[in-house]
Amino acid sequence: MDVIMSVVGGDASADYDAYIVIKATCMALIINGTDTTVVALTWALSLLLNNHYALKKAQEELEMHIGKDRIVNESDIKNLVYLQAVVKETLRLYPIAFLGGPRAFSEDCTVVGYHVPKGTWLLINMWKLHHDPEIWSDPFEFRPERFTTPNHKDVDVKGRDFELIPFGAGRRSCPGIGFGLQMLHIVLATLLHTFDMSTLNGGLVDMTATAGLTNAKATPLQVLVTPRLVATING
């Protein structure tokens, strides 16, 4: 807030109301950040529950680096390579927004031989990019291991690699990338490390998505959780 107030309020040449810009920016951040992390976390847990080998592998990694005598700290995340791969694969398969945010061309452009006039609105089909068989082998399968192989281990989700852009890219990418990823990693790691999880009847989780700007799960995720660390931490 200090930075945005100093930047916007200090622009003496602007012909707009600085307070309206600041309030509108804060409202956009709050609205867009209210449910997106929850949506991503729900998909991650659903995918892990439908792929028990990945759930077990993630928990084994947590036990190897953290043990059972303490809970996860933010400083542990950098060592959890497989957990990071799970997050990337989740955002690849189920981007938080299928089409991202709308963009408008600020000037006339030529894109792949097509003339695009100024003011044209653009929507990028992130889902299509993330499922392109020319880039991703078995694109519809949940395979976190793909992000531990030489081909994709250095691919990140921050807009540098255009084959994986769940937060968009460029100057108009999501301003909450850092906070969103931080929360997603630490919450997912804490849940997997602290609890054993299973579905109510041992069946598969329904992976149907809703139609809308945010890629939410159509049905609630119901999970049975059993504490894993209570005895060792309290004992």
CATH of the domain at 138: 1.10.630.10
Q: What is the pLDDT of residue 199?
A: 92
Q: Are residues 43 and 6 in the same domain?
A: no
Q: Please tell me the total count of domains within the chain.
A: 2
Q: What is the pLDDT of residue 45?
A: 96
Q: What is the pLDDT of residue 232?
A: 52
Q: Are residues 149 and 213 in the same domain?
A: yes
Which tokens sit at 226?
């059993």
Q: What is the pLDDT of residue 234?
A: 52
CB atoms closer than 10 angstroms to residue 70: 12
Q: Are residues 115 and 201 in the same domain?
A: yes
Q: Are residues 21 and 130 in the same domain?
A: no
Which tokens sit at 65?
């680096």
pLDDT beneath 70, residues of the chain: 10-14, 32-33, 230-235
> What does each C-alpha distance from 169 to 114, 164, 175 come to in angstroms?
22, 10, 10
* Dist CA 7 CA 12 (whole Å): 10
Q: What is the pLDDT of residue 168?
A: 83
Q: Domain range holding 114?
A: 35-234
Q: Are residues 80 and 23 in the same domain?
A: no
Pairing state between β 121-122 and 103-104 = antiparallel
* Dist CA 96 CA 82 (whole Å): 21
* Full-model pTM: 0.84
Q: Are residues 105 and 214 in the same domain?
A: yes
Q: Are residues 111 and 7 in the same domain?
A: no
